[in-house]
Amino acid sequence: MVRNGKQYLDSLKDNRCIYINGEKVDDVTTHPAFRGITQSFATLYDLAADPANDMIYTTEDGTTANKVFMIPRCREELAIRRRAITKWAEATCGFAGRSPDHVAAFLAGFASSPEVFGEYKQNVLDFYQYARDEDLFVTYVIIPPQVDRSKAAHEQEEKYLPVGVLEERKEGIVVRGSQMLGTSTAVSNYLFVSCITPLRPGDEDYAISFVLPIDTPGLKLYPRPAYATGKESTFDYPLSTQFDESDSLVVFNDVFIPWKHVFTYKNIEATRAQFHETPAHVLGNNQAQIRLSTKLKFTIGVARKITAMGGTDKFPQVQERLGELASLAATVEGMLLASEYECVVDEKGTARPNARFLYGIVGMQDQIYAGVIKILRELVGGGVLQLPSSYHEMVNPETKDDIRQYIRASGVDSEARIQLYRLAWDIIGSEFAGRHQQYEMFYNGAPFVVRGHAYRNYGYHEPLEIVDRFLGSYTLPKALLKEE
């Protein structure tokens, strides 16, 4: 089944335990902090459910499902998957980093190499099929809380700061502790829990992977402040009001997990291997780069439109900066397409985007996004600072004439100018904007981690062979040759 937006919204009306501003949330679909993003995700489900959008495929089991769950078997299927993911990315302008297609990609990667999970492989296959066939929204928390990052999990002051095994029972396990960074978790159906940061000997109690429904007893979510709250108008804050996903600390107060939902158990090697010895990390980051490419296109579209509105796009120095934006966006898109074109079909028959090109651009993501935002800031100048406090000044009889007279552009009325500049501010200057710059900087972890992926996956044998071949093409001077 491919569900629609109403079915998604109805699935969120359960007993999930979320606290924000000191109060328990009764219904995420109506609460001001989450209403905008749940409506936006509902739109994605409606889009996918419409056959005209070509986001439905027939699975290997004969069921129909959303293409975001596809296990690609060839280059063409990677392209089919990319086109489907792009439709969703365009619907959110690339500003929903943990939309339902992200962890769906990880689950597809897990299911394509179930042997990595050993005795729990059937659990992985069963849950993947269940999530796929029910079109579930699954999110994840895979990073321990930042209490003392110099110590391993088992070396912390208290035993259960990161989530770990408290008790083993015949029917399953009981876990206690916390994990971050639960982006979109408050508005999802299931949570995948694990640890992607390196674990050390002694950390076995924390070397686990499992899934659970968001309304599981003992599971509590503590979201950061909501950027949608207090924003009464989408006109004034078009991105904040619609695409604030929320990020949450997730706390496990002695939560019971049945064995059927356990993927790895007290196994450091398997917990690491699930990400990097399956296609999961590659497919998940492929989705992320499809989203980033769309986000950059949208952002440079705003830059191009603003410079055209003010007439500055005729200045050579402005064209230079627009050209720099174009180069950055084209680099991301080009590397994304190169990773697809040069894909590798592994021994299990899964088509993986080429890691050289994929991680090459992942390693530059923090710099590229920061660079794009810096240029957009330069191009909009002080115009984003000289806007009315809200749309109310545009309708108040005492103020509207001043706004229309003085905040406009040549040939463009005040409504159109203010609308565009409000959008620009929500990209570069609002709380929502600040969160996104920080988010893209650490999307895949610390810079040394993401560049480590690029280092390991580049394939240095090729450039070394070129250098060695050249060095071997000429002889040393006789004076340097060793005498026999």
| Cβ neighbours around 106 below 10 Å, total | 25
State yes or no: 289 annotated in a binding site. Answer: no
State yes or no: 146 annotated in a binding site. Answer: yes
- At 241, list the tokens: 């009001």
H or E stretch covering 172: strand 172-179
What SS3 state is found at 53? helix
**Closest C-alpha among 205, 173, 179 to residue 191:** 179
- At 180, list the tokens: 């971050």
Report whether 432 contacts 240 (CB < 8 A): yes
Q: 10 — phi, psi (to 5°)? A: -65, -35
H or E stretch covering 336: helix 316-341
CA 164 to CA 166: how far, in whole Å?
A: 6
DSSP class of residue 263 equals E
CA 110 to CA 128: how far, in whole Å?
A: 8
State yes or no: 148 annotated in a binding site. Answer: yes
Report whether 182 contacts 222 (CB < 8 A): no
Q: 77 — phi, psi (to 5°)? A: -70, -30
CA 65 to CA 28: how far, in whole Å?
A: 26
Q: How crowded is the C-beta side of 334, counted as CA atoms within 13 Å?
A: 6
State yes or no: 149 annotated in a binding site. Answer: yes
Annotated binding site for FAD: 146-149, 183
Annotated binding site: 146-149, 183
